Every structure is written in structure tokens, then in C-alpha cells.
A and B are shown apart, each in its own frame.
Chain A
Amino acid sequence: MRIKVTRRKFLQTASLTAASVPLAKMARAESSLVEKPIAAPGSFTATETRYGGVCEMCFWRCQLVGKVRAGRLVKLEGNPKSIENGRSICARGNAGIQLLYDPDRLKYPLKNVGERGKPKWKRISWEEALDEAAARLKAIQQKHGPHAVALFPHGASAFYPLQYFEFTGTPNISEASFYQCRGVRDMAYLSTFGFAPGEHVDMANAKVILLVGTHLGENVHVSHLKQYLKGLENGAKLVVLDPRFSAAASKADIWVAIKPGTDTAFLQAVMKRLIDTGRYDKEFVAKSCAGFDELNGSLGEVTPEWAARVCDVPEEQIIAVADLLGTNLPNVAIHPGRHTTWYGNDFQRSRAQACLTALLGAYGVPGGLIRPKGVKLGKAAWGHGVFAEDCDLSTFWPFHPPGTPTEAIRETTLTGKPYPIKAWIAWSRILFRQSPINRGPSRPSGRWTSSWSPISCPWTSPCSPTSCCRKRATWSATITSRPACSGTRPTSRSSSWLPGCLWWSRCSSARTRYGS
């Protein structure tokens, strides 16, 4: 039982003396608190603007400035010098400060010193984390081959590590979220146009914008939204296919409140009407397209009346949309969409969007689908890896998007066939529900992890020649350096620093290498 002693009474009677206190052994070389001249009240309110941040609350990479006061990031704003987003950022970007200052943000490298599945985490140094990761990866690759390592990357921060692991010889890289987002769209356009479309439609110069389920104005991607609004300001007609009265639908000239999952029928009927009335780009089709007759033949039974029944929309509306598109060709923006995996019949819907784009000649013209050029990183990029042909698991799936299917990596890891996969690296990914990796009840993959390393929050990424950000937009391409725009020194490291050190750690035994 405790004896009731107050602090004052204790201090009056304590026999403990300073000499008996083990302070000397606990003393650090430097104190975190230093004496300074007394500052007057109110002298501490200056706010500094730091340029050069790039937002990563999504992948769109809007350019930012950070407002820093007393070493604290107090606000994020769009960079007024940006040719993309200018002063604007979206609501999610505004909330980026919470990413930096979330108390549960990973702060140090952690190592699991418990059992797998029953982890006990312990803070370790960067040197220990890198040495151990490098040694274990090297040992696995020496014993089982470079392909025995699989990477699950996601987001803009995965750019360098993805290149690094490909360079070190593993083809087993799967961006599993790709399949649930833009995978079907990219496959459809690859099969039709020969390239993945991105969202590169020139809405600012379009005479008609067609959105198939796309609800611009409710999500992010500021510069994209600006292009869309510019198009509307310039007088573009807007057609929106969406069962919901979305933000875009509220601005539409024609809102098609379509029955969910029937968009392909609608698009087929529009194409049939365009062909039947001769309102398609005959010159473009003749010069640049193959398979027009097959397309026309496949639409033989399609009529607006049939599609109206399937889609539960008025027949007149289908005709009106077709005529509007045909009248304004080729300056028509058929938006390829994003997050296009909906009902299981999405590939053919995206194919229909691509075919409609071609039929209207809406490619490489103002208002149409554009294929922009990117920025080359030159020597700042890792080279491509060389893989043995029999290591490519994707050959078992004859029709698949770029990368190795997640299922193939999972099955190979579980069965060891055709070869063992002994290490998984999750980069900015939680292998948890998101993909069918954990069999049985979904489990946080963290429980099975050997170690975690914190990559920088984008507002704290240190400046380095390779710590830059590429962006390819419809009519512009930019490369942006990204010095830290917050006042806090991170214990995390940038996404370009980590693979570089990992490589160095594998190749060198010098203990001083981390300083530079």
C-alpha cells in the first residue's frame, strides 16, 4: 500500500541527493533545448513560404508550396508558378498535413523480433534496416535466383524502387491495384489503339465532352479538372452517362441516366447510328483504321430502339447523343475514364469507347485523344532488367496487362512452382483485402512482415538530383525538383534514397556510406 506523501513533503524530507542520481550515465551529447535570448511575446508569428513540394495524396502530382511557422507546416497551397494546377489544390491535398502529422505515421524502421503472425516490433536504425534487408535479399537471390523476390508497388513513390528491383533481375512485379482501377481500360485501348490512353483527352479544346461514368468535380486531379472546366467555359457540350445525378451530370447538356452495367449497348447504338447516317470520319477511318467492316458487321442487329430498352433510357436521347457527336467530329473528347473496373464487362465497354473515338477521328486533334510525350530521366534512371524467359510467370496468362499478375505470384509463392519465391516487398501497399493474396480471413499483411521502413511523407522529401517528380499531361510535360516544404526533419527517407542505399549496401561494406 502506498503511503500518502505529497510532492512538497517529499522534497522537504528526501534523503536522495543529487550525487546519488545516475545522471552522468544517462547524459546525451547534445540537449534538445538550448538557451536563447528571451523573445518578446508576438515575435514568433512569421510564416515562411517554401516552394517545391509535390502532392502525393493521390498520384496526380500537383505542385505545392508549404506555409511553415515555427518549424511547423501549417498549410499547403498550390504553387502559383505551376503550369498545371496553379494556386489550386483539392480537398484531399489540403488534408495532406494530416499525413505528415498523423501520430501513427511510421516514424522509424521497425523490425519484427517476435514470431511471424504474432509480431513484436522494435525500433532499429536505418543502418541495421538496410544491412539486414540487403543481406537477406542478396542471400535469397544468390540461392534461388534474382526472380525469387517479388515486389508489390503502388503510387508515385514506387517509381524508383520499381525500377531498382526490375534492374536487379526480378520480373515479379505486380501493381495489384492496377487491375481494380485502370487495368481493363488500358488493356482495351492497347488492343484498339496500341497504347494506354491515360486521361489524355483535350477537353479544353473539345466541342463535345462525353463522360462514361466519369464524375469529374467530385474527385481530385486538379489540372484535369481545370481542363474540363476550361472546355465548358469555351462552350463545349457535355454528355454524361451516369445513373447517379453526379456533379458532372448537374452540368450536362444531356444527362443519360443509364441503367447500371449497360453502357456498352448505349455506345454500340451510338456507333451504329453514326455509321448509318454517315456521320463518322470517313477519311480517318479509311486512312488509319483496320477492321471497320467487322465493326459495322458486329453492330448489325443494334438499333437505338433496342439499346433504349436495354439501357432504360429514351430512344431519342441515344439519337441526340449520336447526332451531337457526329456533328462536332473530330473535336470530341471521349474520356477513357479512370477507376474503370465496375461490373465484369468493363473491357468491352472500354473497347467500345476506343472504337467510338476512332470512328469520330478524335485522335491527335484539338479536343481529341492525345498521346503526349513524357520527360526522359536519362542517367537518373535505373536501366531495365534482363530476365530469363522461363522466369516470366505472366506467360501462363496469355492475355494480361503489363507486369506479372498478382495471382501468379501468389500461387508460385505457395507452391514453389515453377520456382520458389522467397521474399515479398510491399511498397506503399497494404497487402490486405485489396487483392486476393491472403487466403482465408483477410489479415493485415503487417503481421507477416519482417521489417518496415518508413518512406518520406512527400512534404518532407529531401532535395536530391533524383528526388524529382515527372508529370506527363495532355499538352505539357514537367519535371519538378522536390525539396522539403515542411519544417520538420524526417526520420523517414525518400523513395529515391532507399533503393540507392539498398544497392550500395549490397555492393559495399563501407560503414560510412549512409552519410552521403
Chain B
Amino acid sequence: MNEAAAGSLLDDLFRILGRSLEYPQGNWPDGDYLAWLDGLLAELGWEEERAELRDLPADHVELLDVLQIEYTRLFINAVPTAVAPPYGSVHYPGEGMLNNRSTEKTREFYRRHGFDLAEESGPADYLPLELEFLARLAGSGRETEAEVFLSNYFRPWFSAFRARVLAGALLPFYRILIELIDFFTQQEDKYEN
């Protein structure tokens, strides 16, 4: 696969993973999505995760119900506390609140690279938003900017977020998605095979 095709694939992957981390509703996730996810895990050789996914309810209404409950508990609100709010500044070292200094710096980075938040969107460090930004960079071949964003803005908080999801998830679905995001946002030595 050439670089352009790889960039295009990363673009799609980041978009899908980002949207997978939004509140599940309507027809999503449907059979096509789950088949695609299964195919992706197969290509990666993640057989245990494939097996875990097969344990999810087959019925769409039932699946939606359990995912909505899990999403609310993990990412929105829970008693005594949500497991892992999907906002960078909550996990960024030394911050711990929504909309903090790192949120502002993230938005500034977007602006310096020709993007900004649409009206009425949430904080700039909302995980699906950061993945969409990465998708845009990957789709336009801006690999260097993507690497800077990953190292300076994304990875500093994502590892703490990932640890909280892995420790607190009751269903495999979001745990697997977070592991996929972790895999596709890992920084690699350029000369590594």
C-alpha cells in the first residue's frame, strides 16, 4: 500500500473510531459495522478480542441498550463518578477538570493548522474530535503535523484515559475500541520494521 492509500485508510479508521466513541443511538452499531470491526481485528490478529465481540447481544435493540448503559457509566455520569470522561484535560497531568489549559492549547493547535471548532461543539479535547482532527491530517498527508499532535497533545492524556477504561469497562466493546485507538495512535520509530 502506498503512502497516499495508507493515509486514506488512516483517515477512515480515525473517523470511524472517533464516531464509535460518540453516544450510541439510532441504527448504529449495526451488523455491517460489527462485521467491519471483526474484519479489522482479524487482520490485526486480535483473536481474543474477536471472540469477546461475538458475546455481544445479536439483537440490535438489546445491543443498543447495553451499549448506552455502558457508555453512560464510562463516559457521561455515574455514581460515584464516571469511569473516564472522554476529554483530554480531565486526564492531562496537573489538570483534572473539563475545559482546562490543555483544552485551549489543543484548540490553538487546530487553528494554527487551518481548523476550528464548529459552533456549539464541545471542548476541543473531546476524544472523537481529536480523532477527527487526526483523520483530516492523515487524509491530507500531513504526517509530521499528526506526529506533533500525537506526541504533544494526544498521548500525554490518552494513556491515563486508556488505563481507566481498561480497569473500569464491564463490556469488551469500548475496551477494544480504546485498544484500537491506542494501537493506531502509537508513535513508532520511523526505521522500525
**Chain A residues within 8 Å of B, Cβ to Cβ:** 1-3, 5-18, 20-23, 25-28, 30-41, 43-44, 69-73, 98, 100-108, 110, 113-114, 119-123, 444, 446-447, 452, 488-489
Q: Say if the beta carbon of B73 comes within 8 Å of chain A.
A: yes
On chain B, the residues within 8 Å of A103 by CB distance are: 81-82, 85, 87, 90, 96-98
Apart from the given pairs A12-B1, A14-B43, A32-B118, 11 other A-B contacts in the complex at a CB distance below 8 Å? A5-B45, A6-B192, A11-B6, A12-B6, A21-B16, A22-B36, A26-B16, A33-B115, A98-B97, A110-B72, A123-B71
Among B10, B43, B100, B118, which residue has its beta carbon within 8 angstroms of that of A30?
A: B118
- Given contacts A8-B192, A21-B36, A28-B19, A121 and B72 within 8 Å (CB-CB): yes
In the bound complex, do residue B9 and residue A18 qualify as a contact, i.e. CB atoms below 8 Å apart? yes
Contact with A along B1-31 (1 / 0, CB 8 A): 1000010111011011001100100011010
Nearest CB on B from A38, distance (A): 5
Q: How far is the CA of A55 from the CA of B77 in the complex (A)?
A: 24
Residue B173 CB within 8 A of the other chain: no
Does A121 lie within 8 Å of B100, measured CB to CB? no
A488: B residues at CB distance < 8 A: 99, 122-123
With known contacts A22-B16, A38-B112, A32–B129 Cβ distance under 8 A = yes
In angstroms, Cα B32 to Cα A69, docked, is: 43
- B82 CB, nearest partner CB in chain A, Å: 6
CB-defined contacts of A102 to chain B, threshold 8 Å: 97-98
- Decide: A34 near B118, CB < 8 A? Known: A21-B16, A28-B19, A70-B104: yes
Bitwise interface map of B from 113 to 148 toward A, beta carbon under 8 Å scored 1, else 0: 111111011110010110011001000000000000
B88 to chain A, nearest CB (A): 11
The answer to whether residues A34 and B192 also contact, given A20-B36, A26-B16 and a CB cut-off of 8 A, is no
Q: Which 8 A-B pairs have the closest CB atoms?
A: A3-B45, A32-B121, A39-B111, A101-B98, A11-B6, A103-B85, A36-B116, A101-B97
Q: What 0/1 pattern do residues 150 to 187 of B give for CB contact below 8 A with A?
A: 00000000000000000000000000000000011010
Inter-chain CA distance A110–B122, complex, in Å, is 19
Whether a CB of chain A sits under 8 angstroms from the CB of B58 is no
Hey, which chain A residues are within 8 Å of B43, CB to CB?
Answer: 10, 14-16
What is the CA–CA distance of A488 and B128 in the complex, to the nearest angstrom? 18
Residues of B within 8 A of A2 (CB): 44-48
User: Which residues does chain B contribute within 8 Å of A15, judged by CB atoms?
Assistant: 43
Contact of A8 with B188 at beta-carbon distance under 8 Å, contacts A26-B19, A121-B72, A122-B69 already known: yes
Q: Is the CB of A33 within 8 A of B129?
A: yes
Judge whether B62 is part of the interface by a CB distance below 8 angstroms. Answer: no
With A72-B99, A103-B85 as known contacts, state yes or no: A22 contacts B132, CB within 8 Å.
no
Give B149 Cβ to nearest chain A Cβ, in Å: 13
**Contact indicator B1/A14 (Cβ below 8 Å):** yes
Please measure, in the bound complex, the distance between the C-alpha atom of A90 and the C-alpha atom of B95, giving whole angstroms: 23
Given A2-B48, A26-B33, A446-B79, decide whether A70 and B113 contact each other with a Cβ distance below 8 A: no
In the complex, which of the residues A3, A107, A122, A446 contacts B68, with contact meaning CB atoms closer than 8 Å?
A122
Beta-carbon contact of A101 and B9 below 8 Å? no
Check B76 for interface membership: any CB of A closer than 8 A. Answer: yes
Min C-beta distance of A213 to chain B, whole Å: 34
Least distance between A488 CB and chain B CB atoms (Å) = 7
**Interchain CA distance A7-B17 in the complex, whole Å:** 15
Any chain A CB within 8 A of the CB of B61? no
**A123 touches which one: B23, B108, B112 (CB < 8 A)?**
B23
- Chain A minimum-CB-distance residue to B110: A33
In angstroms, how far is the closest chain A Cβ from the Cβ of B186? 6
Judged by a CB distance under 8 angstroms, whether B57 is at the interface is: no
Q: Knowing A41-B112, A123-B76 are in contact, say whether A33-B36 is a contact too (CB < 8 A).
A: no
In the assembly, what is the distance between CA of A44 and CA of B106, in Å? 12
Q: Flag if A35 contacts B115 (CB, 8 Å).
A: yes
- Binary interface encoding of chain B residues 38-79 relative to chain A, with 1 for a CB under 8 A from any of its CBs, else 0: 011001111110000000000000000100110111001111
The answer on a CB contact under 8 Å between B108 and A33 is: no
Instruction: State in angstroms the CA–CA spacing of A39 and B76 once bound together.
Output: 32
Measured CB to CB, the closest approach of chain B to A203, in angstroms, equals 37
Bound-complex Cα distance A232 to B8 (A): 72
How far is it, in angstroms, between the C-alpha of A447 and the C-alpha of B78 when the chains are bound?
11
- Alpha-carbon gap, A386 to B116, bound state (A): 54
- Known A-B contacts A16-B39, A110-B72; the reply to A70 vs B108 at CB < 8 A is yes
Given contacts A103-B97, A104-B81, contact A31 B118 (CB under 8 A): yes
* Chain B hits for A70, CB < 8 A: 104, 107-108
